[in-house]
Chain A
Amino acid sequence: AQSVTQLGSHVSVSEGALVLLRCNYSSSVPPYLFWYVQYPNQGLQLLLKYTTGATLVKGINGFEAEFKKSETSFHLTKPSAHMSDAAEYFCAVSGDNAGNMLTFGGGTRLMVKP
């Protein structure tokens, strides 16, 4: 069965600092990996996804993530945090079960200090 672990339920950074949100997964088949963002009082929206090919994936709002098979990781980064990045971020994996079902991590709340 597939699973996702997000290290750190809360991460706080200063505006302009590097953002690093960690995600490790387990899957018995080559995974498809996703990052979603949830702004307050909204549903989740897709930030980026990895399917096949290039392991460094660029998403919206300056975020990117790198798929590292040897480390079973898919960490999310952004070089310079902006106040508007404050939100909850979810890593998800699919591919190791019937149907198109995603398994989500527990989420990481990103706080950005001025």
Chain B
Amino acid sequence: DVKVTQSSRYLVKRTGEKVFLECVQDMDHENMFWYRQDPGLGLRLIYFSYDVKMKEKGDIPEGYSVSREKKERFSLILESASTNQTSMYLCASSVTGYNSPLHFGNGTRLTVT
């Protein structure tokens, strides 16, 4: 079974802090994704990566950056956290292909105060 592990389940940070969200997958998947989940808005793609050191912007990249130094690890970085970044963050991975399902982690609920 594919396992996608997000390092923190809950996180509370202060406005202006630099925040790192970590995600690791154990199935050698090429693609990794970061989504943000907000009530009524579904999941919105922040960034994705299709290979080591490669990244592409999703629908809402502003205020975020990412890092993928190893195939199994994909980090989401909030350079200067703001209260409007309080949300649930979901990491996912997949093999390449339009019909390849995503495998999700359990999410990190981030609160910025």
Contacts and interface: CB of A to CB of B under 8 A. Distances in A.
Interface in A79-109: 90, 94-95, 99-102, 104-107
A45 interface: yes
Interface residues of A, number: 25
Say what secondary structure dominates the interface of chain A.
Answer: loop
B40 A106 contact: yes
Interface string A36-56: 100001111110010100000
Contact of A106 (B42, B50, B100): B42
Interface stretch (B65-73, B77-85, B91-99): B91-99
Given A100-B96, A100-B100, 17 more contacts: A42-B106, A43-B90, A43-B104, A43-B107, A44-B102, A51-B99, A90-B42, A90-B43, A99-B50, A99-B56, A100-B98, A101-B33, A101-B58, A102-B45, A102-B102, A104-B42, A104-B44
Interface of B: 4, 31, 33, 35, 40-45, 48, 50, 56, 58, 90, 92, 94, 96-102, 104-107
